[in-house]
Structure 1
Amino acid sequence: MSELVRSHSFQTPQEYYSSFKTRPHLQDAFRDIDEASNLKTYLALLKDSQTRNFVLDFGNDDAWCAVNLDQEDFALLLRKPKPRCFGTRWINIWAPEQQKELIKTITSHYGVSERLQGMMCTDPVERPLKATVPTEPPRNNFRPRNSDRLRRSRPDDVEGNALRDLADPEEIRAAASFRGLTFANVIDQIWHFCSVDYGPKYTCVGYNSLFVVPQFEMDNGRELPAGKRLWSWLILCDDGTVICMQENPFPGLSGPSEKELQSVLSVVRRNMQLIFAGVSKQHFASSESDSLVTIRVRPFFEGGPDQVSIKQDDGPSLLFYYIFDDWVSSYALVAQREHKYGVSLNRLRQDMLSKPVVDLIHDLHRLGRQLAVLKRLYQSYELIMMRILQRQRMLRDEARSNRPQLAIGQSFGENDGDSRHSTTRSSFSFSTIPDASVGVQLSPPAVARFERLLDRIKLYCLSEIDSCLTEKENLTFLNFNLIALKDSQAVEKLTRITILLAKVTILFLPVSLMTGYFSTELRNVKGEYTINQYWVSFGVIMFLSAVLLWVFGYASDTVEGKTIYQSLSRSFFRMSRDRVSHHKNEAPGGTIHRS
């Protein structure tokens, strides 16, 4: 038996795939992606909506891939050990609800619990074209219908008997509402839901991802960020196998247009394509601008001393990390400087400065809710990485104290256990260490990259979201302050107009009394005064009235043109002075021109 295993270990890829006598088509299904033509073909297949899965086996010298394998093919591949030339096996599955038996075959091989298998095979939530609101039955008719239904329930109906024991109709309704609840509903309603599970042969994480599709507005409602939300499962196994499952972006019969489908698939599968291309020896960065998206999980000894640092045993751990770290999507979401939320805040600020209205508060509230959901989503990534690093520290300490250091890809622990966490906190600690030593140990390069990713999430994503939330609160106060300032300016202007009219009235009141005196039909008054005497009296009284009004305004601090507005006299004086100075400046030029 040992000689048979040894002979399998030193097989070449051609000998390995040709050894499956019961499935001879496997030899033709696998192709070497180190050849340029095969790499181009497989990259095109990764963009095809009909591609449901692929298997990529690679090591230091070889990388072979096959697409759209069935359940029997996977069962046969898992039963036969990989040759030594392959250190890593990457199994990628799209649309898991259409390949349930295949998923159960793979996960059962690594001892995944039935409950976790059921969660992986849950049908996704289908989004109808138009949301329909179910009509709620009248409250007074709720009790008779449910009582008849409960009376007709069978004695062995556990759920029916449990509902019958509830006396309050509200309790019955609350209990019945969870009977149709699935895992797909949970991850669709709680975007920051995440899962971290461990077993003797695997480490499994589940998380939601949000993808921004250019030229297509993926509206999820006023309270949720725009984009395509997809759930992903990522499993690292003890034999160097990495399993990735991604939710179907368009479940159901009513699919999108071909253009929209290709645009969405090019974005949600972009990270897979970058990693896949990085495995091949044919893919090299053509310029310095491509270095950021160049991913290496396989050593190329002819590439220089930097590639020698990547060992074959590091392949599964690095692949596990790079699938989780979709940096391009995070950069397009909030990390870049001109992201959509910053642009929206700038637009709202300009609208406030031009015309502050109360309706802008609704836009700020909607933007704040979207940023809060996005913050909790990134906090779930932070939680996953903290749990992974916590487990790695425990496994490393146990390996150092109890037994010699094991190679990357070997399993630890005897008992199966799982741990699911969902949180809204942004800071975590390593104080709680589980007792059961389950999980798969990562290589040191992968651990270092997870630590770096944790710092980037805090520095570039969470800090940017916190800045946007702080700016949103400041804009809310700014809008109310601008509205109050606008109202105060309107009141001040109205007050100035009222004071001006009152001054004019007071100014002409003595003159009116004087005119009335001169026009009275009294003896020794009518016909005794001349017109010159009238106008002299008019001027003296008008002058004295103006002086008294100015003294009163100065004493009571109601002189026109104090803080914001200028008086009419001062405005007229400045306009006249500017016009005279303008004519004086033009006069020399005109004289020179005439001469």
Structure 2
Amino acid sequence: MDADHPQASTPRPLTSTDPQLPEYYQDIGVTYLLQEFKNLDDRASFELFERAVGNPKTGNFVVDFGDEEAWCGFDLAVDAFNGLLEAKRPAALNTRWINIWYPADHKPTLQEKSPVPSLDLEEGSETTELSSLSELDPLHNINHYSIVDDVWHYSSVDWGRRYVCLGYNSLYSVPTERREDEYPQSHRDLPDGKRVWTWLLLCEDRTVISIHEDPYPYKNGDLDKQEQRALNVIRRNLLNVFRQLSKARNSAKESPLTILPIRKQVGDSKEETLHRPTDAPGLLFYYLFDDWYTSYGLVVKREHQHGAELNQLREAMLQKAELSHVDRLHHIGRQLAVLKRIHQSYERIIDRVLEKQKATLASLTNSNILPGLQREESVSSSQPQIAEAESLLGVSLSSAARVRFERLKDLIRLYALSEIQDCLDQKESLVMMNFNLIAIKESYSVERLTRITLLLAKVTILFMPVSLMTAYFSTQLQDVRFTSHAYWTAFAVVLSASICALMLFGAVSGTLEGRMVVRPLSRVLVDFWRGKVGGSRTGA
């Protein structure tokens, strides 16, 4: 997270100022900001910004937009952010989107807005105490991002007086070069793909802030072709949302599923026009969270990774069942469990976002908050009082955003979670099928061995009478003479009798020619006799 990206702190070369730039940006007092912000509805500027979104060295951007106009600036420095956050936006630019890709580069801004007491040399005793405590307790060395990296389904929903903040992991289906000898055994229990942590904030002043973890830290933006393709997949949803904020895009070439009603007017009625400024922040907040294309590629698509692998294992089992298949199914089950918990965390985030904050009696009693009827009675009080509506945590979403969050929850439950559960059930059935196939294969081996044993036994039994007959003919008996014709005649008779006896025994016992027949002959005769006797009794 601490890769150095100089583009985020150093302004780009100055260009000509847009003559249509609102006075709002001129009044901020940051000189180079006048050259950075350009009209997003201009075709040339839009194409330039569109390429900048896919550039791995781009650090941040800000978009201010309304129904009639939209202005955007990339790679802003700390003083530009300070000026934008402190100045009051005009009503025409009712919504702001701040996107940060490398949050480590913006620590000065965060520390200035939310200062944290530092430990200097005068506080050396406290530093020594903390270092010794961390040596005794290893939990002091665990930070937020280590938990995020270890627990993929970890999520966070924080409510403030004037904001709501979501933190969650996203898993992107991108090719990864994973070798068995380079990764520990635990990595086989994690799904293939790239995990990226995202912070998403909705503020009371209609500002949406998105902060993304660097997927390739310590690369300084120098990515190879495979990493660049993966970055395009990671930023695909964000790029689509960015395109929807411009009227210069070519909507004729877009898929209907990618068109988002953030600036696009769905209706021209009076109600739609009145609610559009209040709907835009919530819709932007929702569509940045709703990356349905990622879930579709992971678990919803018919030929997704785990479903295809389960089908391949099933075909391999039918060819030759092995115990190694059970080990692979175990790891697939662990990966599916991780995916299930990730989507359950999304469902929980939606529940928390849609949850309405209520003022309780305890919160009103143990605070300086009074209901509206009691507010006038407490004016003379020496202690300042706060209105009840201003005391509730979080930012209320518009109806347009709420219904979309509810729809997303249904999509996650009906498609993603149900598909994952189907794969888990299929995995369990494949484990049982593998053991059954192994048992069947062993039974076939035992049957084959039984056939060979029976064949050898029958050959031995077949020639045993012939051996006795030959021994008799080779005995020297007084006044007894054997001719060659008599020997071979006796040989044929004894051998034929032995063969007939073996066939009769095999038919009666049900082991004719070493194969298990459906029913032995003795059983057939018994059933035939019972049927005949039963039929005669019925006729009588």
TM-score band w.r.t. shorter chain: 0.7 to 0.9
- 1:529 pairs with 2:478: no
1:531 Cα deviation from its structure 2 partner: 2.5
CA contact (8 A) 1:14 1:27 kept: no
SS at match of 1:439: coil
Structure 1, 325-334 or 546-555: larger mean CA deviation = 546-555
- Alignment partner, residue 16 of structure 1: 24
1:99 Cα deviation from its structure 2 partner: 1.4
Cα shift readout 1:342-399 (whole Å, capped 9, x = no counterpart): 111111111111111111222111211111111111111111011111237x59xxxx
- 1:504 pairs with 2:504: no
Cα distance between partner residues in 1 of 2:337 and 2:41: 45
- Alignment partner, residue 582 of structure 1: none
Classify 1:444/1:104 alpha carbon distance in 2 versus 1 (closer, same or farther; 3 Å): farther
SS at match of 2:513: coil
Cα distance between partner residues in 1 of 2:517 and 2:259: 60
Cα distance between partner residues in 2 of 1:61 and 1:19: 21
Q: Matches of residues 306-325 of structure 1 in structure 2 within 5 Å?
A: 311-325=276-290
Cα shift readout 1:388-433 (whole Å, capped 9, x = no counterpart): 11237x59xxxxxx88xxxxxxx98555xxxxxxxxxxxxxxxxxx
- Alignment partner, residue 95 of structure 1: 102
CA contact (8 A) 2:57 2:221 kept: no
1:550 Cα deviation from its structure 2 partner: 2.2
Q: Matches of residues 21-170 of structure 1 in structure 2 within 5 Å?
A: 22-105=29-112, 108=114, 157-159=128-130
**Residue type of the alignment partner of 1:85:** A
> Cα RMSD (Å) of the superposition?
3.1
- Alignment partner, residue 210 of structure 1: 171
Q: 1:356 aligns with which of 300, 306, 321?
A: 321
- Alignment partner, residue 152 of structure 2: 191
Cα distance between partner residues in 2 of 1:79 and 1:257: 36
SS at match of 1:55: strand
- Alignment partner, residue 232 of structure 1: 198
Classify 1:561/1:254 alpha carbon distance in 2 versus 1 (closer, same or farther; 3 Å): farther
Classify 1:305/1:225 alpha carbon distance in 2 versus 1 (closer, same or farther; 3 Å): farther
- Alignment partner, residue 242 of structure 1: 208
Cα distance between partner residues in 1 of 2:244 and 2:517: 66
Q: Matches of residues 329-348 of structure 1 in structure 2 within 5 Å?
A: 329-348=294-313
Cα distance between partner residues in 1 of 2:490 and 2:507: 26
Cα shift readout 1:494-528 (whole Å, capped 9, x = no counterpart): 11011011011101111111111111122233xx2
Structure 1, 317-326 or 179-188: larger mean CA deviation = 179-188
Cα distance between partner residues in 1 of 2:388 and 2:210: 21
CA contact (8 A) 1:211 1:267 kept: yes
1:182 Cα deviation from its structure 2 partner: 1.1
Cα distance between partner residues in 1 of 2:388 and 2:203: 11
Classify 1:380/1:352 alpha carbon distance in 2 versus 1 (closer, same or farther; 3 Å): same
CA contact (8 A) 2:155 2:168 kept: yes
Cα distance between partner residues in 2 of 1:277 and 1:455: 27
**Residue type of the alignment partner of 1:200:** R
Cα distance between partner residues in 1 of 2:246 and 2:388: 31
Cα shift readout 1:88-138 (whole Å, capped 9, x = no counterpart): 1000001111211223456x4xxxx969xx9xxxxxxxxxxxxxxxxxxxx
1:328 Cα deviation from its structure 2 partner: 1.1
1:70 Cα deviation from its structure 2 partner: 1.4
Cα distance between partner residues in 2 of 1:309 and 1:493: 83
Q: 1:454 aligns with which of 393, 409, 417?
A: 409
- Alignment partner, residue 440 of structure 1: 395
Classify 1:189/1:412 alpha carbon distance in 2 versus 1 (closer, same or farther; 3 Å): farther
CA contact (8 A) 2:347 2:409 kept: yes
Q: 1:543 aligns with which of 485, 496, 503?
A: 496
Cα distance between partner residues in 1 of 2:264 and 2:67: 6
CA contact (8 A) 1:279 1:296 kept: no
Classify 1:347/1:191 alpha carbon distance in 2 versus 1 (closer, same or farther; 3 Å): same
**Residue type of the alignment partner of 1:381:** Y
1:213 Cα deviation from its structure 2 partner: 2.1
CA contact (8 A) 1:59 1:87 kept: yes
CA contact (8 A) 1:75 1:105 kept: no
Cα distance between partner residues in 1 of 2:65 and 2:242: 11
**Residue type of the alignment partner of 1:495:** T
SS at match of 1:230: strand
Classify 1:449/1:302 alpha carbon distance in 2 versus 1 (closer, same or farther; 3 Å): closer
**Residue type of the alignment partner of 2:238:** M
SS at match of 2:141: coil
SS at match of 2:447: helix
**Residue type of the alignment partner of 2:196:** L
- % same residue: 43
CA contact (8 A) 2:21 2:38 kept: no
- 1:555 pairs with 2:508: yes
**Residue type of the alignment partner of 2:75:** N
- Alignment partner, residue 177 of structure 1: 138
Cα distance between partner residues in 2 of 1:304 and 1:561: 87
TM-score by length of 1: 0.72
- Alignment partner, residue 418 of structure 1: none
Q: 1:479 aligns with which of 434, 442, 445?
A: 434
- Alignment partner, residue 376 of structure 2: none
- Alignment partner, residue 224 of structure 2: 258
SS at match of 2:73: strand
CA contact (8 A) 1:213 1:267 kept: yes
Q: Structure 1 stretches of 5 or more lacking a match?
A: 1-11, 119-152, 164-172, 396-401, 404-410, 416-436, 566-595
How many residues end up aligned between the 2 structures? 465
Cα distance between partner residues in 2 of 1:278 and 1:156: 50
Classify 1:333/1:181 alpha carbon distance in 2 versus 1 (closer, same or farther; 3 Å): same
Structure 1, 300-309 or 548-557: larger mean CA deviation = 300-309
CA contact (8 A) 1:205 1:234 kept: yes
Cα distance between partner residues in 1 of 2:430 and 2:510: 35
CA contact (8 A) 2:66 2:93 kept: yes
- 1:278 pairs with 2:278: no
- Alignment partner, residue 529 of structure 2: none
Cα distance between partner residues in 1 of 2:49 and 2:126: 57
Cα distance between partner residues in 1 of 2:516 and 2:389: 78
SS at match of 2:98: strand
Q: Matches of residues 462-473 of structure 1 in structure 2 within 5 Å?
A: 462-473=417-428
Cα distance between partner residues in 2 of 1:546 and 1:200: 99
